[in-house]
């Protein structure tokens, strides 16, 4: 009888915890993931909530001020000249792989001035490991990692 009571109490507690998670304020803790065109299409609804913005760093858009640790750049839907873009502002040091044309995901808020203020910058990169080739210097190896396809050596 004692085991049945303990099992019933545990079941009620588990159901209660699940109910709090399922019906609680879960919606307030969601972070939406949008492309620049989706963000711009939301208009004023995009202003304020925490959002993850994903896209590609637009060519010629990076402005890095190392003295103030401030970074401005544009995130675009793609590399086409007609792609929608959003200006991003960050006071964080960018990851080492950050560059034009790389996929990024930034987390932050969109403000009324049309600038996305980020507190988290992540780059999308390949998870393929390429060891240095025989006789290749550290600098050459690091540069080869930035290339889409490794070049064959002669």
Looking at the fold, whether 53 and 112 belong to one and the same domain comes out as yes
Domain count, the chain: 2
Closest listed residue to residue 74, CA positions, set 36, 40, 107? 36
For residues 109 and 88, what is the distance between their CA atoms, to the nearest angstrom?
A: 10
pLDDT at 28: 62
Looking at the fold, whether 12 and 69 belong to one and the same domain comes out as no
Looking at the fold, whether 18 and 38 belong to one and the same domain comes out as no
Condensed to tens digits (0 to 9), the pLDDT of residues 109-139 reads 999 999 999 989 988 766 666 677 788 787 7
Instruction: Answer yes or no: pTM beyond 0.85.
Output: no
Looking at the fold, whether 9 and 38 belong to one and the same domain comes out as no
pLDDT at 152: 45
Burial 8-32 (b: 16+ CB within 10 A, else e): eeeeeeeeeeeeeeeeeeeeeeeee
Condensed to tens digits (0 to 9), the pLDDT of residues 15-44 reads 988 887 777 666 666 666 889 999 999 888
Looking at the fold, whether 113 and 66 belong to one and the same domain comes out as yes
Whether residue 149 lies inside any domain: the answer is no
Looking at the fold, whether 23 and 35 belong to one and the same domain comes out as no
For residues 23 and 29, what is the distance between their CA atoms, to the nearest angstrom?
A: 13
Domain span at residue 55 reads: 31-124
Closest listed residue to residue 53, CA positions, set 142, 115, 10, 132? 115
Whether residue 138 lies inside any domain: the answer is no
Looking at the fold, whether 72 and 109 belong to one and the same domain comes out as yes
Task: Using the structure block, give the residue that is written with the tokens 């995901």.
Answer: 105
- Token pair listed for 67: 């003295």
pLDDT at 96: 82
Looking at the fold, whether 87 and 17 belong to one and the same domain comes out as no
């Amino acid at each position: 009888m004692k085991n049945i009571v303990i099992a019933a109490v545990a079941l009620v507690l588990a159901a209660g915890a699940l109910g709090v998670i399922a019906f609680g304020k879960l919606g307030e803790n969601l972070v939406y993931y949008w492309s620049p065109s989706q963000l711009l299409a939301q208009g004023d609804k995009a202003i304020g909530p925490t959002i993850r913005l994903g896209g590609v760093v637009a060519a010629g858009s990076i402005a890095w001020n190392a003295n103030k640790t401030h970074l401005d750049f544009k995130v675009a839907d793609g590399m086409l000249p007609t792609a929608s873009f959003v200006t991003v502002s960050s006071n964080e040091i960018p990851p080492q792989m950050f560059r034009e044309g790389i996929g990024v995901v930034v987390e932050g808020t969109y403000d009324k001035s049309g600038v996305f203020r980020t507190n988290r910058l992540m780059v999308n990169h390949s998870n393929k490991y390429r060891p240095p080739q025989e006789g290749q210097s550290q600098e050459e190896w690091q540069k080869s990692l930035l290339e889409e396809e490794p070049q064959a050596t002669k």
